[in-house]
């Protein structure tokens, strides 16, 4: 990763945000601007061969207006210890033949609160990923994401069908 950029406080810009390489640090739900309508690509993580990272240093809830697009290089969410990053916008793949992994790091919690259509791997490396939507791992066109759990995956009472579940000492 190359560099860190912090968007802190309340920002009023209306455009979309792309973190193609490196880390974007946010501390509240208005850090990524003032979205007034649903934007499928409100936040794009990754480039064609690089991984982009969104790091929450406080509790952050991204509304459904902030859709997240995973580019081929993949994306990473980091929730610091004691924090919760909630993503209520749909997470989708940028291309029809996706390759990038979605990684969750940090000792905090990532909450997936939308019907997500990404089909690549979800790697819970650290902390907790909690499913707050019945279709949080629904995938697209019959293809569901593979799960790699080293941290904790909290299904939240949801039934999840996945082609592959692997891990290294994680908890489901």
3-state secondary structure of 4: strand
Q: What pTM was computed for the model?
A: 0.91
- Indicate the average pLDDT of the chain: 88
At residue 45, does pLDDT exceed 70? yes
Provide, rounded to the nearest whole percent, the portion of the chain with pLDDT above 90.
55
Task: State the Cα–Cα distance between residues 2 and 22, nearest whole angstrom.
Answer: 5
Of the candidate ranges 51-55, 61-65, 98-102, 109-113, the one whose mean pLDDT is the lowest? 98-102
N- to C-terminal Cα distance for the chain? Answer: 29
User: Above 90 in pLDDT, residue 1?
Assistant: no
């Amino acid at each position: 990763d190359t560099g860190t950029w912090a968007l802190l406080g309340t920002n009023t810009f209306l455009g979309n945000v792309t973190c193609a390489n490196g880390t974007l640090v946010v501390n509240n739900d208005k850090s990524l601007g003032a979205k007034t309508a649903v934007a499928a690509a409100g936040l794009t993580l990754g480039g064609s061969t690089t991984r982009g990272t969104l790091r929450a240093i406080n509790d952050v809830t991204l509304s459904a207006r902030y859709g997240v697009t995973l580019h081929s290089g993949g994306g990473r969410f980091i929730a610091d210890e004691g924090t919760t990053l909630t993503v209520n916008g749909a997470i989708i793949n940028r291309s029809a033949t996706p390759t990038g992994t979605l990684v969750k790091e940090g000792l905090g919690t990532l909450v997936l609160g939308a019907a997500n259509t990404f089909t690549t791997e979800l790697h819970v490396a650290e902390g907790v990923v909690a499913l707050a939507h019945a279709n949080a791992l629904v995938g697209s066109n019959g293809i569901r994401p593979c799960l790699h759990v080293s941290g904790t995956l909290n299904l939240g009472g949801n039934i999840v069908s996945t082609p592959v579940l692997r891990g290294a000492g994680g908890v489901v």
